[in-house]
Amino acid sequence: MPPKKRRPKETAPVAIKGVIDGAGEVVQQKIATTIEENYMPYAMSVILSRAIPEIDGFKPSHRKLLYTMYKMGLLTGGRTKSANIVGQTMRLNPHGDSAIYDTMVRLSRGYEALLHPYIDSKGNFGKFYSRDMAWAASRYTEAKLDPICSELFKDIDRDTVDFVDNYDNTMKEPTLLPATYPSVLVNANTGIAVGMASNICSFNLKEICDTTIALMKNADHDISSTLPAPDFSGGGQIIYDKKVFDEIYKTGRGSFKMRSKYSYDKSANCLDITGIPQSTTSEAIIEKVIQLVKAGKLKEIADIRDETGLDGLKITIDLKRGTDPDKLMLKLYKMTPLEDSFSCNFNVLIGGVPRVLGIKELLDEWIAFRVECVRRRTYFDLNKKKDKLHLLKGLQAILLDIDKAIKIVRETPEESQVVPNLMAGFGIDEVQAEYVAEIKLRHLNREYILKRTEEIENLEKEIAELESVLASKAKIKKIIEKELAEVGKKFGQPRKSILIYADEIQVAEEEEETPDFNVNIFYTQEGYFKKILPQSLRMSSEQKLKEGDSVAYSNECSNNDELLFFTDKAQVYKTKVNEFKETKASAFGDYVPAKLNMDESEKSLYVVDTKDYKGYMIFAFENGKIAKVPLSAYETKTNRKKLTGAYSDKSPVADIIYIKEDCDIMLTSSQGRVLLFNTGAIAEKASRSTIGVNVLTLKKGHRLISAKLYNEGDLAKPSRYRTKTLPAVGSTLSAEDKAEQLSLL
């Protein structure tokens, strides 16, 4: 049997100074209980007191800040330092100055996040569309309440809303603001709580006021007829799909697409982005575009930069020559945040309970809230007028005998007996008697008392009107409708976000990704084209050609390069290397006229492969004229396969040469004369059909028969064939050069 364990000797607990009883003990507890007791209060606090807006459109942090500014007299006075406002707000908001100032920035006019800013700011408050533009410290900026805040605090001192103690019970603050318009839908509001979130888009103030009025008159009003879509401070374009917005209006959830607004500057060949989606920033857009350019997916862009200044947001995109701006924007919409989605989640606290509501339900809740505000205001006014009427009734009583009232006061030996004696003498109550007793001696005349008692009739009419308002919900709604119309007229502004219909917008065409790799191309005199992989060429480099045919052009290039085939009918056919199948040296290749569906009896004379359309085309005509046309003249905005008027047809073309930069060219005439000249001496012409300039002077009956690139050593004495001026007749070949030319043949 195992030995019995010895019980530890029990000792009396020793009290140690500074040690908490039970500290350090590990207590097992169910996780559900821990979460319920510790985490749930925090979660509820975040939901109810921090992240989710209430029916007045504000979170507690917003409301505390604005109310503090209101109490500071900043609704009508001048601006004060933001640091002063932040300090005063701490009396209501027990958070650090940084959090309060951040809230203030986001409500300001300078930040530009709200359609109708609540704070009139001065100084650098950053911009909502910039991630990196930091706002200045609170000691450098100034602020006051914007005029629209007068509609938020209207009648707040007439018992329209409840007040509660602040966190240390030293002052009162409102639980809601009695806004005279549905501010909850006029300015965007976003919040992330625990287990839920809220994302309310902004709507045009005038449209919201008109919709609310229409809804109060007709409960079945079609919301979309007066409230077509949201409106954002940054402008931009909203892609309008009625089904999408009907669903959002009905459920309070859903998403819609937004596009940036742009304009094309033809003189500078650039795009100016002046409005972007609310959910992105200029830096995010620029970084994405740069990333795509580096990846080779946006070859049309030469440069992008942020030119945001005092006039507002501006992102400038420089385009390469020949780029179609509208087509490029379609690609940018598809590949960058220039088009983005806005997700709606109309989650609002209604009576302390978070609820996701559609537009109609949300406006109904606001109407109910506003009806209660007007009812409480009316009841407050009614009581004030009743109290005043009661006092005037007492004043009217002494009108019967003012001398009697003076006699009662004069003959009363003790001050404390004045009020009771007046009560007994005129049959009035204590409040009335107190009021009469406080009348100044100078007012104890019939004129003063008659003027005051004349108010009784007006007061009785006003009281009757107020009582009728309280008894009729329809009259209260009429008052609200009138206030809404006044707000819409006074503060309404034109829509900033443009609506474009979903079925009318263009979408970027899907472009198949073609693999890019190096290939060797061969083009023969007879018009055959081969595309051969380098490894295949290493295995067998001997080209199989038809009898009498020879290779006219060969080069190593990219599979995605473009090819231009110039023909004898002054036309050019455009295609890409990847349009041709890979073949081997032992094959004849593709016959270009058949492959490109050239006209009957049309022959291909010359081929150019290019990536960027840089360089020049040199056309040598039999009449001695030379045309220099930039290759970019053949670059098209669309994928055109055939261009007519590739070069002038006024004279037969003798030779076609592609050069990357100016160089020496050797011309030979039918009379045996040679002219060596540099293409830099010829001005380029943007028109493809230019007839060129005279370079080689020909005698009657003779013509220019060839034009070749000159390589060092092709002529023994090249200076013999050069001339200082053009046109020139050239020189006959020297004996040495004749021998050299014969050896080349």
Tokens of 141: 């900026």
| Residue 745 reports pLDDT greater than 50 | no
Return the pLDDT at 399.
Answer: 74
Tokens of 663: 């160089």
Q: What angle do CA 447, 453, 457 make, to 5 degrees?
A: 135
Average pLDDT over residues 157-179: 93
Return the pLDDT at 298.
Answer: 86
Return the pLDDT at 391.
Answer: 87
d(CA 537, CA 704): 38
d(CA 59, CA 50): 6
pLDDT band with cut points at 50, 70 and 90 for residue 740: low
| Residue 744 reports pLDDT greater than 50 | no
d(CA 525, CA 564): 15
Return the pLDDT at 21.
Answer: 65
Average pLDDT over residues 491-516: 76
Q: Is the pTM of this model over 0.85?
A: no
| Residue 439 reports pLDDT greater than 90 | no
Domain segments of the chain as ranges? 31-194, 372-471, 518-744
Tokens of 730: 């050239």
Tokens of 328: 């490029």
Helix (H, G, I), strand (E, B) or coil at 534: helix
d(CA 299, CA 43): 50
pLDDT band with cut points at 50, 70 and 90 for residue 455: confident
Specify which residues 177 forms β-bridges with: none
Return the pLDDT at 1.
Answer: 44
Helix (H, G, I), strand (E, B) or coil at 147: helix
Q: Which CATH number fits domain 518-744: 1.20.140.10, 2.120.10.90, 3.30.540.10, 3.30.450.40?
A: 2.120.10.90
pLDDT band with cut points at 50, 70 and 90 for residue 507: low
CA distances from 718 to 94, 662, 697 (A): 91, 17, 19
How does the average pLDDT of the chain come out, rounded? Answer: 88
Helix (H) / strand (E) containing 352: none
d(CA 323, CA 293): 15
Q: Which CATH number fits domain 372-471: 1.10.268.10, 1.20.1260.10, 3.30.390.30, 3.40.50.2020?
A: 1.10.268.10
pLDDT band with cut points at 50, 70 and 90 for residue 642: confident
| Residue 13 reports pLDDT greater than 70 | no
| Residue 301 reports pLDDT greater than 60 | yes
264 is catalytic: no
Name the pairing type of β-strands 518-524 and 528-532: antiparallel
Helix (H) / strand (E) containing 422: helix 418-426
The CATH H-level superfamily of 31-194 is Topoisomerase II, domain 5 (3.90.199.10)
Helix (H, G, I), strand (E, B) or coil at 66: helix
Return the pLDDT at 17.
Answer: 52
Q: Which residue among the candidates 42, 140, 167, 501 is catalytic per the annotation?
A: 140
pLDDT band with cut points at 50, 70 and 90 for residue 2: very low
